[in-house]
Amino acid sequence: MPFTIRPLSSLVSMLTVAAAMSISAPAGAGVTLMHVHGLAYSADGRQLLIPSHHGLAVFADGRWSKAAGPAHDYMGFSATRDALYSSGHPAPGSGLTNPFGLIKSRDGGKTWQKLGLEGESDFHTLATSYQTNAVYVVNHEKNSRMGGAGIHYTLADGLKWERAEARGLRARLNGLAVHPNDARIVAAGTDEGLYLSRDSAASFEPLAKGSRVLALTFDQGGQHLWFSAYAGKPTLARIGLNAKAKAEERTLPAMKDDAVAYIAQNPARREEIALATFKRNVFVSTDDGRTWKQIAKEGSGVD
């Protein structure tokens, strides 16, 4: 591959280590978020889901709870219209093979279906197309269905994988996002900026350069990309998909030695945006990212 697949920058690695714990829910206390591994809304928009080291945390109706279902260590967690996709590691004592490879849930994480590569691969970078269920992953080494390291994608729930050449990506890759309606359109966040592909990640062109892009997601309408970056300070912006588009920067809440790790848009109320940071702060905006309410502070849920 022309780009480097390895852990993020020293800043992000430091922040990730600071967050290396688990979800817990002591009696009489709220959920504690640690080891945040993703961020997604349920299809009806009523729940904000956060996967972590010991299962899924849920924010709904102004309160935190622990989701029903196994307390697995979910990695690469991503939601579509009718399913959740993930990778990761089984809960202790579950008797399941480690790592998961690719798994899928159709009931909000209560039960999970194995889609292959069990015992072979753990995909920390995984992105899905909301309407089409296409899945893109970053693979780190050869397995039984992928010939080597790099970006791969499946349009058939893991039955068949295609390798993407990713021409034009030369810097360290930090994240992927897939267009909600067109599985051929893929965005990549790198240490050199934001890149866009219109040919299933075969080639990429720069969309926004000059800063390290950490998190990214397409809006539900497929007309814009939300992305977070770090260049001496954390930033959040939205940009259109053409080469002449200008990024519209949003004002972030105060963050000290922190940055945005995950971004999600509510599919039912599209003006609602959620952010999770490397230090386990979680914020929600109901006005398209102009103002924010904090719902978790350094891992402690705020009801």
pLDDT tens sequence across 176-226: 999 999 999 999 999 999 999 999 999 999 999 989 999 999 999 999 999
What is the DSSP-derived secondary structure letter of residue 67? P
Q: Does the pLDDT at position 12 exceed 70?
A: no
Q: Is the pLDDT of residue 30 over 90?
A: no
Nearest Cα to Cα of residue 300 among 95, 94, 26: 26
Full-prediction pTM beyond 0.85? Answer: yes
Token pair 């010991």 is found at 54
pLDDT at 19 over 80: no
Residues 6+ apart with CB under 8 A from 89: 72, 73, 75, 98, 99, 100, 122
| pLDDT tens per residue across span 243-298 | 889 999 999 999 999 999 999 999 999 999 999 999 999 999 999 999 999 999 99
**pLDDT surpasses 50 at 118:** yes
pLDDT at 246: 95
> 167 CB contacts (<8 Å, ≥6 apart)?
2, 202, 203, 204
Name the token pair of 302: 């705020």
Residues 6+ apart with CB under 8 A from 251: 290
Q: Cβ neighbours of residue 16 under 8 Å, at least 6 residues apart? A: 8, 278
Which of 205, 195, 102, 106 is CA-nearest to residue 154? 102
Distance between CA atoms of residues 265 and 40, nearest Å: 8
C-beta contacts of 290-295 below 8 A and 24+ residues apart: 290/250, 290/251, 292/252, 292/253, 294/253, 295/48, 295/59, 295/64
Is the per-residue pLDDT at 3 higher than 90?
no
- CA dist., res. 187 & res. 218, Å (int): 8
- Please state, in angstroms and rounded to a whole number, the distance separating the CA atoms of residues 127 and 185: 12
Please report the pLDDT score of residue 53 as a whole number. 72
By the 10 Å C-beta count (0-12 exposed, 13-18 middle, 19+ buried), 126 is classed as: buried
Q: 7 pLDDT band (50/70/90 cuts)?
A: very low
**Ramachandran class of 157: left when φ > 0, alpha when ψ lies in -120 to 50, beta otherwise:** left
- Report the residue count for the chain: 303
- Write the DSSP string, 221-252: TSSEEEEEEESSSEEEEEEESSTT---EEEPP
Question: Which among 232, 198, 13 is positioned nearest to 124, based on CA atoms?
Answer: 13
d(CA 69, CA 90): 12
User: Would the pLDDT of 28 be above 80?
Assistant: no
Say which DSSP state 211 is in. S
46-102: pLDDT as tens digits: 999 999 777 899 999 999 999 999 999 999 999 999 999 999 999 998 999 999 999
| CA distance linking residue 292 with residue 303, whole number of Å | 15
What's the distance, Cα to Cα, between the start and end of the chain in Å? 45
Q: What is the mean pLDDT of the chain?
A: 91
